[in-house]
């Protein structure tokens, strides 16, 4: 499993253990760092020590694993009948559906639960009850290469037609990837949803049923196939074979005119000296009315009890100071309204403002559906066919819709 936020750290497991209290809380957490120097172990180490200093009767025992391993580790612990008290991982709905999790309002104080950003809190719900507590979030914006745009004499696009015109101008200047369209198996579900939203669609409809083959989505992918891919404006790698990490790397090499990206691309591009700009995702007639928001999750298991201690510790975890510290360490968006307001106003966080502004109009994957994991996996392997030569957007989206309905009815 990978983080919903696209993190790719590959550090091994490491334990963080504190005092000798009467109650030991076990937390399994994901690593957002990309080296030992910025491992999340350091964040949790400090947090655990600070909490234990004020709570001598509680020991916080944290194991930190890479995103390659953390979801599997938790699954194995649950299967063995020994779940952690808390897990900070990529998905919560399966455990909620099996009645293994505490409800958020059984744990958190009212002010803390009320402070979650609205869209994120809603995405943590199953049938109207919140089990998943957002821990980190991100949005996507359109990145563009300022140097290549200046050379082509173009301005950042606001609509689909603008984007296609800009891509044509970039192609004429010999740009390798005028618009990079990563629909490869690494993270195709993200690029897919970003485009669906820009066309007024999405994975689900207004009553939260799957609507993958909606007229809006079919129109969006028909446009992509005919106006971008069919006109050779997406580069030498077929979209269905282009992964996000490769697209980001190509942008950092100055080979991409435009692509959708999240905050980590800022550092990648900046480190390579690429001058970039960021604008909202273009929509059908103008800037998209909504954008993709993504989140990773905190959850608490019922098995070992400790409800009061878990709740008190999580209130501490979600204090504004701690949410800000984590968000700033990893260039992520805070999951609470109070921390978001602070970051929006702070000069030191101005590089994240385009993403913070997008968060308020963002829509998240349908993570409250236990079928989403299967549907997402299928999108990753199939959606590229919708824009391939000879491919049928109507047929591919119809196939995905039928599979999604079957997966949902099987739950």
List pLDDT tens digits, range 92-118: 998 998 999 999 999 999 999 999 998
pLDDT of residue 3: 64
pLDDT of residue 42: 92
Q: What's the predicted TM-score (pTM) here?
A: 0.85
> Is the model's pLDDT at 164 over the cut of 80?
yes
Q: How confident is the model at residue 334 (pLDDT cuts 50, 70, 90)?
A: very high
Q: Which residues of 355-380 are buried (b: 16+ CB within 10 A; e: fewer)?
A: bbebbebbbbbbbbbbbbbbbbebbb
Backbone φ and ψ for 374, nearest 5 degrees, come out as: -70, -40
pLDDT of residue 2: 53
Q: How confident is the model at residue 352 (pLDDT cuts 50, 70, 90)?
A: very high
List pLDDT tens digits, range 21-47: 589 999 999 998 877 888 899 999 999
List pLDDT tens digits, range 144-163: 999 999 999 999 999 999 99
Region of 31 (left: φ > 0; alpha: ψ -120 to 50; beta: rest) is beta
CA pseudo-torsion sign 157, 162, 163, 165: negative
Helices (H), 69-187: 70-79, 93-97, 110-114, 118-123, 146-152, 160-172
Return the half-sphere exposure (C-beta side, CA atoms, 13 A cut-off) of residue 384.
19
Average the pLDDT over 163-192 and give the result.
96
Sequence-distant contacts of 395-404: CB under 8 A, at least 24 apart: 396/221, 397/212, 397/213, 397/217, 397/218, 397/221, 398/213, 400/212, 400/213, 400/375, 401/210, 401/211, 401/212, 401/213, 403/374, 403/375, 403/378, 404/203, 404/210, 404/212, 404/371, 404/375, 404/378
Neighbouring-strand partners of residue 299: 87
> Is the model's pLDDT at 11 over the cut of 90?
no
Q: How confident is the model at residue 91 (pLDDT cuts 50, 70, 90)?
A: confident
pLDDT of residue 4: 61
| Strand ranges (E), 284-379 | 291-300, 362-364
> Is the model's pLDDT at 86 over the cut of 80?
yes
List pLDDT tens digits, range 179-238: 999 999 988 999 999 999 999 999 999 888 999 999 999 999 999 999 999 999 999 999
Backbone φ and ψ for 212, nearest 5 degrees, come out as: -65, -35
pLDDT of residue 14: 46
> Is the model's pLDDT at 10 over the cut of 50?
no
What order do you get walking across the sheet with 256-261 strand by strand? 177-179, 256-261, 141-145, 276-279
User: For 229, which DSSP code?
Assistant: I
> Is the model's pLDDT at 296 over the cut of 50?
yes
Q: Within 10 Å of residue 13's Cβ, how many Cβ atoms? A: 14
Tell me what the pLDDT averaged over the chain comes to: 91
> Is the model's pLDDT at 286 over the cut of 90?
yes
pLDDT of residue 392: 96
> Is the model's pLDDT at 358 over the cut of 90?
no
Sequence-distant contacts of 208-211: CB under 8 A, at least 24 apart: 208/366, 209/408, 210/366, 210/375, 210/401, 210/404, 210/405, 210/408, 211/401
Q: How confident is the model at residue 5 (pLDDT cuts 50, 70, 90)?
A: low
> Is the model's pLDDT at 304 over the cut of 80?
yes
> Is the model's pLDDT at 411 over the cut of 90?
no
C-alpha dihedral (332, 382, 66, 79), degrees to nearest 10: 120
User: For 368, which DSSP code?
Assistant: T
Q: How far apart are CA 337 and CA 224, in angstroms?
A: 36
List pLDDT tens digits, range 238-271: 999 999 999 999 999 999 999 999 988 998 899 9
Q: How far apart are CA 92 and CA 296, in angstroms?
A: 9
């Amino acid at each position: 499993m990978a983080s919903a936020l696209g993190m790719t750290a590959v550090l091994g497991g490491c334990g963080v253990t504190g005092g000798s209290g009467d109650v030991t809380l076990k937390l399994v957490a994901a690593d957002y760092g990309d080296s030992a120097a910025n491992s999340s172990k350091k964040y949790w180490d400090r947090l655990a020590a600070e909490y234990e200093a004020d709570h001598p009767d509680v020991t916080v025992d944290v194991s930190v694993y890479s995103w390659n391993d953390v979801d599997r580790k938790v699954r194995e612990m649950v299967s063995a009948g020994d779940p952690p008290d808390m897990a900070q991982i990529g998905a919560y709905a399966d455990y909620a559906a099996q009645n293994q999790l505490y409800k958020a309002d059984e744990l958190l104080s009212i002010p803390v639960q009320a402070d979650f950003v609205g869209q994120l809190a809603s995405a943590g719900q199953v049938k109207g009850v919140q089990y998943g507590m957002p821990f980190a979030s991100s949005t996507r914006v359109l990145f563009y290469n300022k140097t290549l745009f200046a050379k082509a004499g173009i301005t950042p696009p606001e609509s689909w037609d603008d984007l296609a015109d800009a891509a044509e101008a970039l192609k004429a200047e010999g740009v390798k990837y005028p618009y990079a369209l990563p629909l490869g198996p690494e993270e195709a579900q993200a690029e897919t949803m970003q485009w669906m939203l820009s066309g007024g669609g999405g994975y689900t409809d207004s009553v939260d049923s799957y609507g993958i083959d909606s007229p809006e989505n079919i129109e969006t992918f028909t446009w992509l196939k005919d106006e971008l891919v069919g006109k050779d404006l997406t580069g030498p790698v077929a979209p269905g074979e282009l992964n996000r990490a490769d697209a980001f790397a190509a942008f950092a090499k100055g080979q991409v005119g435009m692509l959708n990206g999240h905050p980590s691309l800022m550092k990648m591009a900046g480190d390579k000296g690429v001058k970039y700009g960021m604008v909202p995702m273009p929509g059908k007639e103008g800037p998209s009315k909504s954008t993709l928001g993504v989140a990773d999750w905190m959850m608490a298991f019922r098995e070992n009890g400790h409800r009061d201690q878990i709740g008190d510790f999580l209130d501490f975890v979600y204090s504004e100071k701690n949410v800000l510290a984590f968000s700033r360490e990893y260039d992520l968006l805070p999951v609470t309204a109070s921390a978001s307001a602070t970051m929006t106003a702070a000069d030191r966080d101005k590089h994240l403002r385009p993403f913070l502004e997008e968060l308020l109009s963002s829509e998240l994957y349908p993570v409250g559906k236990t079928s989403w994991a299967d549907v997402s996996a299928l999108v990753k392997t199939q959606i590229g066919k919708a824009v391939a030569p000879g491919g049928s957007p109507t047929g591919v989206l119809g196939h995905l819709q039928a599979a999604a309905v079957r997966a949902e009815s099987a739950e």
